[in-house]
Amino acid sequence: MKINKCSFCGENFSFKLPVYLQHLQQLRSPRIEDQFEFCRFHSAQTSIIPEGLSTNYPTEIDFIQLPERVNKLYSELWSIVTKNTERSYTILNTLKTLFIDSKKLSSNMTHPLNPLEFLGEVLVPETAVRLIAQDRNITLMETAEIMKDSIDFGMYVHDMEEDEINNLEDYINRKE
């Protein structure tokens, strides 16, 4: 296979580019967003995805089973709420049903956050850690380390938003 060199960052890659990216290297003045997307794609193809796959990071998430799995975490999550210690819409929606719609979580329990903010900032990361720990049969600390190591993989494969990553990084840093 032919080795190509990225005209933006100089990195080598040896795969065929998708049609939507092929024209970018020929542009005289590509937008910075196009340069970023081009480099993001070839970086993902050459290192992020192969590294993630080699460590068994999931390429798909079973969103159909997710609500049931989150429901099974109720007592563990409730203990987090009551102790007032410290990521996906499906998880957040399930948590909302469990804690807010059922009126079990109140503003005075989550102060200074409102209950929905508390779910997003506290219980969603805690739920994600516990789901990953269950999937991989590992400890919560080992899970936090995997989450930290798999941020690039998750951002690319699951197309995560920057604020989701920032919340995840904050969570990981609190666990260290």
As a whole number of angstroms, the distance between CA 67 and CA 75 comes to 15
Mean pLDDT of 95-122: 91
> How many alpha carbons fall within 13 Å on the CB side of residue 12?
4
* Domain extents in the chain: 4-54, 66-175
Query: Mean pLDDT over all residues of the chain?
Result: 81
Q: Is pLDDT above 90 for 98?
A: yes
As a whole number of angstroms, the distance between CA 102 and CA 123 comes to 16
Q: Is pLDDT above 60 for 132?
A: yes
Query: Which band of pLDDT confidence, cut at 50, 70 and 90, is reported for residue 85?
Result: very low
Q: Is pLDDT above 70 for 154?
A: yes
Q: Tens of pLDDT along 28-73? A: 787 888 888 888 888 888 888 888 889 888 888 898 999 999 999 9
Query: Which band of pLDDT confidence, cut at 50, 70 and 90, is reported for residue 86?
Result: very low
